[in-house]
Amino acid sequence: MRITDLMIKETMIMDLQATTKDGAIEELIASLEASGRINDQSLFKEMIYKREAESSTGIGGGIAMPHAKTKAVNEATVVFAKSNKGVEFESLDGEPAKIFFMIAAPEGAANTHLRTLAALSRLLIDADFIDKLMKTQTPNEVSELFDAKQAEEEAAKEAKEAKKEAKKAQQTPEVIVGNPNSDEFVVAVTACPTGIAHTFMAEDALIKKATEMGVNIRVETNGSEGAQNVLTADEIRRAKGVIVAADKKVEMARFDGKPVLQRPVSDGIRKSEELIRKALNGDAPIYRSEGKGSAEESKAEKTSVGSKIYKDLMNGISHMLPFVVGGGILLAISFLIEQVAGEDNVLFQLLQTIGGGTGAFHFLIPILAGFIAMSIGDRPALMPGMVGGLMAVNSNAGFLGGLAAGFMAGYVVIFLRKALAGLPKALDGLKPILLYPVFGLLISGAIMFYLFDPIFGGINTWLVNVLNNLGTGNAVILGLILGGMMSIDMGGPFNKAAYAFSIGVFTSSGNTNGAMMAAVMAGGMVPPLAIALASTFFKNKFTEQERKSGLTNYVLGLSFITEGAIPFAAADPLRVLTSCIVGSAIAGGLTQFWQINLPAPHGGIFVAALANHALLFLLAVAIGSVISALILGLWKKTVETK
């Protein structure tokens, strides 16, 4: 398949009018929708922004490649666009983007499509080719340029394959990439979250730079089709250093004892020479898959303690959330059935069993603790962490005890790795299958039983009693804080902290005290609903595309999906965030002023009937949303004067 089979002329934009990143994305998506290549503009846009949140697709050099792989795409397509003025796209080099490729890949994209998209990514490393693209005036010229370039690449590839076959016939060892007379050899792994563009651009940039430097290099790619050109044990052994340019997890244990540079995939594209030089010079920390110490580890680029704790905590919460959502929704449905048919109803008992204390909700704290521990101590810490979390559940240490168990178990395993480092090499195979599980569980379990369970059990009981007996004034203040936190970063640390706190109170009370849950859910529903209302009633303050996107926020807001407001917050953070925080705080405070209890951790309006004051809960959400919408609508500038 040729690149021009995906880059159809009808979608090309030869003079992009947008002057902002959001405007450029809107214009590119509009071209896709007009050509019928996508079936759900809102979903596709959401996935585009989700990818942008991970790292900007403005890769530098005047190029931007926003992309998404989603069921919203009917047929794999690449939209080419050219901006004569340039667009501030938050590019990695800080320069405006002038050439755009919006890649739309369907969920079941064929391998041929993915290989074609990878080929496109590789072409964009060539600066001369980009210069020629900038000079094109018509879609025909763009297509002809790509066809000629791809034909040239294919011819070069065929020549290389022929040369390789000739070498095999002569039983001559294959040269990896680089100068065959050089003894300098490094290996690399490239990977990005979607595995479509950056993975292969980093591969090509590293190979191209290594060739210029006279360095042999072998690059493994972890793309959409899985790992390709997988590094062999012999190659890793011979390499002077390892480069891991990746934005997702790759297999690291094989690099034990090697100098390893771990960088974002964007550095593989932009800083390929720096990475190769550092790998050759051994200017990298020694990687230890079993946590062994090394004098060279002092060279490692340390992250802050706060960042490390947050990363570990988020690993636990992200794995816990499916249990919260799945179990919570089933639990909510069971409560609805109970109100109609009573607690003896078979369906009520079934859903309570599946979603409640003996089903999904029984796993919340063990899963949280286990994956916090795994983030710290890797796989050997998972089991001690989960058992510690289960002990916290059974001893009433609750959510706080589970948090402590996760961190404790992770560091216990790290301690064991250091303590057992001096054992004979012959016993290395016993460590992961015997020593770590037995001693990790014994030490973690003892600490939980004799120290954490009594301490956190007492704290948890005290906290629940305090919350249950809060005066109206104090409860309102807490509701204001929790509601406002849901809007500060809309899915980020503050949002997750508020949600985790409310889940902790909810589970500790036996899934009955939903006061904090009501505040958090009301606060989380406000931002998307406020955006929807503002874009509906203040039309002159929003573009046509923003108004269309605003309509989807009615559904997202009612469903308690705060993230629907993120694109608007990204485009105008001061006005959107400020107005949403005010409305969310008011909504959260009102739920506590009216003493609303909502015994369901997810579902939005669909579980509102479970609240002890359902109409007042909806009124709190409505008041907060209207206030936010009014602030935003009055404060935001009209489209003409932006």
DSSP state letter for 190: E
CA dist., res. 43 & res. 436, Å (int): 44
Please say if 602 is a catalytic residue. no
Residues facing residue 227 across a β-bridge: 222
Query: How crowded is residue 370: how many other Cβ atoms within 10 Å of its Cβ?
Result: 30
User: What residues contact residue 266 under an 8 Å CB cut-off, 6+ apart?
Assistant: 55, 59, 60, 92, 198, 202
- Look at the alpha carbons of 255, 256, 260, 264 in this order and tell me if their dihedral is positive or negative: positive
Q: Which amino acid is at 225?
A: E
C-beta separation of 221 from 198 below 8 A? no
User: What residues contact residue 440 under an 8 Å CB cut-off, 6+ apart?
Assistant: 380, 381, 383, 384, 409, 412, 413, 416
Question: How many residues belong to the chain?
Answer: 642
User: What residues contact residue 583 under an 8 Å CB cut-off, 6+ apart?
Assistant: 487, 526, 527, 530, 624, 625, 626, 627, 628, 629, 631
Please say if 67 is a catalytic residue. yes
CA dist., res. 106 & res. 70, Å (int): 5
* Radius of gyration for the alpha carbons in the chain, expressed in angstroms and rounded: 28
Could you tell me if residue 595 is left (phi over 0), alpha (psi between -120 and 50 degrees) or otherwise beta?
left
CA dist., res. 642 & res. 628, Å (int): 20
C-beta separation of 228 from 174 below 8 A? no
What is the Cβ-side half-sphere exposure of residue 557, based on CA atoms within 13 angstroms? 29
- No. of H helices and E strands in the chain? 25, 10
End-to-end CA separation in angstroms for the chain:
43
CA dist., res. 278 & res. 272, Å (int): 10
Query: If DSSP states are collapsed to H, E and C, what string results for 251-298?
Result: CCHHHCCCEEEEECHHHHHHCHHHHHHHHHHCCCCECCCCCCCCHHHH
113, 192, 198, 602: which is the annotated catalytic residue? Answer: 192
Could you tell me if residue 562 is left (phi over 0), alpha (psi between -120 and 50 degrees) or otherwise beta?
alpha
Query: Annotated active-site positions, please?
Result: 67, 192
